[in-house]
Amino acid sequence: MEQKLKELQAEALQKIEQTEDLKSLNDIRVAYLGKKGPITEVLRGMGQLSAEERPKMGALANEVRAAISEKIEAKQEALEAAAVEKQLASETIDITLPGRPVKVGNHHPLTKVIEEIEDLFIGMGYQVAEGPEVEKDYYNFEALNLPKGHPARDMQDSFYITEELLLRTHTSPVQARTMEKHEGKGPVKIICPGKVYRRDNDDATHSHQFMQIEGLVVDENITMGDLKGTLQVFAKKMFGEDREIRLRPSFFPFTEPSVEMDITCKICGGEGCSVCKGTGWIEILGAGMVHPNVLEMAGFDSKKYTGFAFGMGPERIAMLKYGIDDIRHFYTNDIRFLKQFAVNE
């Protein structure tokens, strides 16, 4: 019997040793230590033993049980620990891996230039005004001293929607709309950025849709000196302190007198080169003193109030500022072009 118990122990211990999972370990526990197991069976035969041998065998049987269950416990712990290890290993995050770069966008160069100009004028006390892109013929032309049949209307080949409605050809109608809202009372001090439309064939310097920024100041005692000073500040802030401006006489129906502003050419410093077509000057914008007819039509007393206005093309300004040679770059959204403006965001 002793022999049998020892064999059972050896057999069980070996099986436990070889077990690789908790389920079969439990099967072994049931098989060897359960009520129907071989040890219990051996012990049932104790009745045939002598009185001296019985306690010895009982003690041995208990030892065998204890050894087996101890081994099972130990194996169970080892298997559980191994399972946790395995899970941890499979769930480990390798924090040494470099991350995937996140692509960051940047503002469109036109947006940058417009915001820069807006900030500059907001800093001088201007408000940003907006107007509709589908505009009434009245605001786009008539209220700006361009009555029906006026020859200057031919200069602006327009997209008409009906006889009275068109896609605005400039941002100047916002002047008239804003003055109307002020009901004859100054001061008015606005800039107005927005899209405008003309029937142009697209090429390196023309686009059927482009942007303008309009400026308007109306108050008592506004003079040409105010206009010049404002434009000077604008030019130097936008293009550099070393830039000079000059005002050339020009004509716009809604201003009198009218001027065009040039700045000294950065490329040649005023000597004359291909960019400035040998003149040393580059044209930047149109401006002038608001025509009395325009003030009166918008409800302002032109004897009491005077004003100045200016209009510029941010595309042209961006082209000069960044050395861009084709206006179409702004609209074709070539990512290689756009991402060059990501610096200093």
Q: Pick out the residues of the known binding site.
A: 256
User: What is the nearest approach in angstroms of ligand DAH to the Cβ of residue 289?
Assistant: 8
E strand spans, the chain: 127-128, 134-136, 165-167, 188-197, 209-220, 245-252, 255-264, 281-290, 305-312
Interface residue with ligand DAH among 239, 310, 330, 341 (CB under 6 A) is 310
- Nearer of residues 25 and 247 to ligand DAH, judged by Cβ: 247
Tell me the number of residues near ligand DAH by CB under 6 A: 11
Binding-site sequence positions for Mg(2+) = 256
Cβ–Cβ under 8 Å, residues 286 and 258: yes
Site residues for ligand DAH, window 238-297 (CB under 6 A)? 252, 255, 286-288
| Token duo for residue 7 | 């064999």
Order of all β-strands in the sheet with 281-290:
127-128, 188-197, 209-220, 305-312, 281-290, 255-264, 245-252
Neighbours of 41 (CB within 10 A): 12
Q: Which of 208, 230, 213, 254 is nearest to 131 (CA)?
A: 213
- Nearer of residues 261 and 265 to ligand DAH, judged by Cβ: 261
311 binds ligand DAH per the rule CB under 6 A = yes
DSSP at 43: H
- Nearer of residues 305 and 310 to ligand DAH, judged by Cβ: 310
Distances (CA, A) of 209 to 16, 129, 273: 84, 20, 29
User: What is the nearest approach in angstroms of ligand DAH to the Cβ of residue 242?
Assistant: 26
173 binds ligand DAH per the rule CB under 6 A = no
307 binds ligand DAH per the rule CB under 6 A = no
Residue nearest to ligand DAH (CB): 311
User: What is the nearest approach in angstroms of ligand DAH to the Cβ of residue 186?
Assistant: 17
Separation of alpha carbons 61 and 6, rounded Å: 9
Interface residue with ligand DAH among 135, 137, 214, 315 (CB under 6 A) is 214
For ligand DAH, the binding residues (CB under 6 A) are 170, 172, 214, 252, 255, 286-288, 309-311
